Amino acid sequence: MYRIMRNEVQVLFTRLHPDAKPPIQGSALAAGWDLRTVETCEIKKGFSTKVPTGLAVSIPVGYEGQIRARSSLGAKGIILPNGIGTIDADYRGQIHVLMTWIGEGDSTIIEAGERIAQMVISPIPNVSFLEVDSEQLGETERGGGGFGSTGRY
C-alpha cells in the first residue's frame, strides 16, 4: 500500500461530444490522466493531425495542463510533433491532441475510444523577469556553450 500525500487540485471538465470519456488515471500512482479520442482518425506520415477528445476543461489559475504522449503509442510509431502541449488556465475550447505517424507505411488509424495521450496538471510558479548586465548572470562550468557543449557529442 502506498501512502499518497498530495494536494488535491480540482479540474472541472465538460463533455462536448456524447462519446467523450472523462480523464482517468491508469493506476493510483500514475502522473497523467488518460485522454481518449471520440473519432476514428487517420494519422498520416509527415502531417500533424488534430485528434479530438470531445472534452473541455477549466484548469485552475496557477496551474497548466500538459498534454503528453503515451509511451505505448510512441513505441508503435505515433508521436506528438509539438512534444508537450500546454492547456492554459484561460482556455475553454475542446482539447485536441496533435499526432504524427513515423512508423512503417504512409499512415495508421486511431480508433474512436482509444487512449491517445495523457494530461498532467502542473503548478506554474509566480515568475518575474529582471533585466541585468551579462556579468550579473553569474558563471557556470558550462558557460555559454551550445549544443554538445557538455561533452556528450
* 95 inside domain: yes
Q: What are phi and psi of 56, to 5 degrees?
A: -125, 145
pLDDT of 151 > 90? The answer is no
Q: What angle do CA 89, 39, 19 make, to 5 degrees?
A: 75
Handedness of CA 51, 53, 57, 63 (dihedral sign): negative
Spatial separation of the C-alpha atoms in residues 49 and 59, rounded to whole Å:
24
Mind listing the pLDDT tens digit for each residue in 67-100?
Answer: 999 888 888 899 999 889 999 999 999 999 999 9
Spatial separation of the C-alpha atoms in residues 99 and 73, rounded to whole Å:
10
User: Which residue bears the cell 549544443?
Assistant: 147
CB count within 10 Å of CB 121 equals 19
Q: How many domains does the chain have?
A: 1
Q: Is 72 exposed, middle or buried (0-12, 13-18, 19+ CB in 10 A)?
A: exposed
Whole-number percent of the chain with pLDDT over 70: 92
In which domain, by residue range, is 41 found?
A: 12-125
CATH number of the domain bearing residue 117 = 2.70.40.10
Spatial separation of the C-alpha atoms in residues 11 and 1, rounded to whole Å:
26
pTM: 0.84
Mind listing the pLDDT tens digit for each residue in 101-139?
Answer: 999 999 999 999 999 999 999 999 999 999 999 889 988
pLDDT of 26 > 60? The answer is yes
* 151 inside domain: no
